[in-house]
A and B are shown apart, each in its own frame.
Chain A
Amino acid sequence: MRFRNLFLTVLSVTSLFAFGAFAQDADTEKAIERYRQMLKEDPWSNPGLLDSDRGEALWKTPRGPKNVSLEQCDLGKGPGKVQGAFAELPRYFKDADRVMDVETRILWCMEQLQGFNAADLVKRPHPGGGQPVKELGAMATYVANQSSGEKFAAKLDQPKEKEIVALGEELFNRRSGPMDFACATCHAADGLRIRLQGLPHLSDPKEARKVIGEWPAYRVSSAHVMTMQHRMYDCYWQMRMPQVQLGSEASIALIAYLTKMAQGGEISAPGLKR
């Protein structure tokens, strides 16, 4: 899909000198597209599925100070219902009186059901390069995978849900830091790239529907699964901002906004990213 955008960009480009780079970029994209096609034909070759399996085992194993599993965790469709739950997240949870994305909700369940200390779990929640995704991320991958093939169907029509989507849109456009960057700096127009990396136009539902459903995704460059919360953390890093906390209202707002943009898009998690 992105390859097609790229092709259109090539057609519309006026500078002859750019052609070499576009051709090279197109080759890379072509190779990745071929890899994605192979994954579709043989889904078990996606390394991210190992983490999804690990997440399932963690989900079902009695753990934490209370030594219980997460099988009674309510992801929004009732306690114990995992299938299809991710497709309706983020959503407002009455028990927590806030809107939560999948990772924040699992964290909540780990604290409420298993007795873990959430403050400890958000201290270093993301893996370094080459390290496997952490336990929370593995479980998020499992939960997302249980909605794979479904379409994003979060209604986001409750008052608190509407508020947080609007907040997410404002944060998406908020410029900050020494570079004056906002999410919108890179993700508010079609067919742009950083170096050779294509940038999805995330405020456009057409493009958001194509890419948001691939998260959590196995990232070839860092050789691990990266979750959506990790993705936000990494973008803020690049924006020269400090470490955004997993489960913070800002992170949930951005995810809610992106999910709203992707409404109706197909979930194919874990996806595969460069």
Chain B
Amino acid sequence: MTMRPFVIAAAAALLASTAVFAQQKQTVPAGKADAVIKAAFPTAPEQFLPRLTQDDTMKQCSASHNNPTKTVADEIQKREKATIEYPADGQFLGDWKKGEALAQSGYGLRFTDYPANRPNGGNCYACHQISKKEVSYGTLGPSLYQYGKLRNFAEADVKATYEKIYNSHSALPCSNMPRFGANKVLTIDQIKDAVALLMSPDSPVNKD
């Protein structure tokens, strides 16, 4: 009987020590990955060189495997929200037909896409269901079918949609979605077209 607490304590100590042991993971020295990446692309043209370096948001999201602490998430959200540029005319809805075209296109920014022969695409269908007609869609992101209808086409949601596409981290820190506006993948007008695809009452996303 008197032995029991001792046995429990010993077992607990053993468990704790194995847990510590299991956590002794091989670590990568700070700066090693940066150096290795810099060396891995020796033929990179000048304009590609910035891509070898991570900004603070990339660093924080990579380090946390896209699961930042609340403090870091707040920091990212604040920083990324500040990058958003709004349309000069205050209009968030563009042309949904152009939005559909850019949602289909994955063109742009790959090393085979230079010199560019057409505008960059958003490649939205790669990850999202959008209009009902397009059955070839990916599942990395949530379905956007009836996106506007489900939100009653509310004005606040139109703006929120623009912000989300412009810089997804402003809505969800460490989102997997590219920062289309902040990283100059899409222009402000193209983002408005994508917003129209999702939020226009006459877009097939909301009609069918």
Q: Which residues of A contact B (CB under 8 A)?
A: 9, 15, 17-18, 20-21, 24, 162-163, 165-167, 170-171, 173-182, 184-186, 188, 191-197, 199, 237-238, 240-245, 248-251, 253
> Are the C-beta atoms of A243 and B44 separated by less than 8 Å?
yes
Q: Which residue on B lies nearest to A254, using beta carbons?
A: B40
A241 interface neighbour in B32, B41, B140, B185, Cβ under 8 Å: B41
A171 interface neighbour in B26, B37, B42, B43, Cβ under 8 Å: B37
What are 10 A-B pairs at a CB distance below 8 A?
A163-B26, A166-B26, A178-B185, A181-B178, A194-B138, A241-B51, A243-B41, A243-B43, A250-B37, A250-B39
> Are the C-beta atoms of A251 and B33 separated by less than 8 Å?
no
A242 interface neighbour in B39, B44, B126, B178, Cβ under 8 Å: B44
> Are the C-beta atoms of A24 and B176 separated by less than 8 Å?
no
Q: Which residues of B contact A (CB under 8 A)?
A: 25-28, 32-33, 36-37, 39-45, 48, 51-54, 57-58, 61-62, 65-66, 109-112, 125-127, 129, 132, 135-140, 143, 145, 176, 178-179, 183-185
Contacts of A240 in B (CB 8 A): 51, 109-110
Q: How many whole Å from A11's CB to the nearest CB in chain B?
A: 14
Given A162-B26, A163-B28, A179-B185, A192 contacting B62 (CB threshold 8 A): no
B137 interface neighbour in A21, A171, A177, A251, Cβ under 8 Å: A21
Q: Is the interface of B mostly helix, strand, loop or mixed?
A: loop
Q: Which residue on B lies nearest to A199, using beta carbons?
A: B140
Q: Which residue on A lies nearest to B63, using beta carbons?
A: A173
> Are the C-beta atoms of B125 and A167 separated by less than 8 Å?
no
> Are the C-beta atoms of B136 and A21 separated by less than 8 Å?
yes
How many pairs of residues, A versus B, come closer than 8 Å at their CB atoms?
143
> Are the C-beta atoms of A166 and B27 separated by less than 8 Å?
yes
> Are the C-beta atoms of B54 and A174 separated by less than 8 Å?
yes
Contacts of B136 in A (CB 8 A): 21, 24, 195-196
**Which of A167, A181, A241 has most B Cβ within 10 Å?**
A241
> Are the C-beta atoms of B178 and A245 separated by less than 8 Å?
no
> Are the C-beta atoms of A178 and B183 separated by less than 8 Å?
yes
Q: Which residue on B lies nearest to A161, using beta carbons?
A: B26
Contacts of A181 in B (CB 8 A): 178
Q: How many whole Å from B166's CB to the nearest CB in chain A?
A: 14
Q: How many whole Å from B139's CB to the nearest CB in chain A?
A: 5
Q: Which residue on A lies nearest to B35, using beta carbons?
A: A249
> Are the C-beta atoms of B178 and A180 separated by less than 8 Å?
yes
Contacts of B135 in A (CB 8 A): 20-21, 24
Q: Which residue on A lies nearest to B108, using beta carbons?
A: A240
> Are the C-beta atoms of B62 and A167 separated by less than 8 Å?
no
> Are the C-beta atoms of A166 and B109 separated by less than 8 Å?
no
Given A176-B51, A185-B176, A193 contacting B138 (CB threshold 8 A): yes
A174 interface neighbour in B33, B126, B176, B178, Cβ under 8 Å: B33
> Are the C-beta atoms of B129 and A15 separated by less than 8 Å?
yes
Contacts of A186 in B (CB 8 A): 140
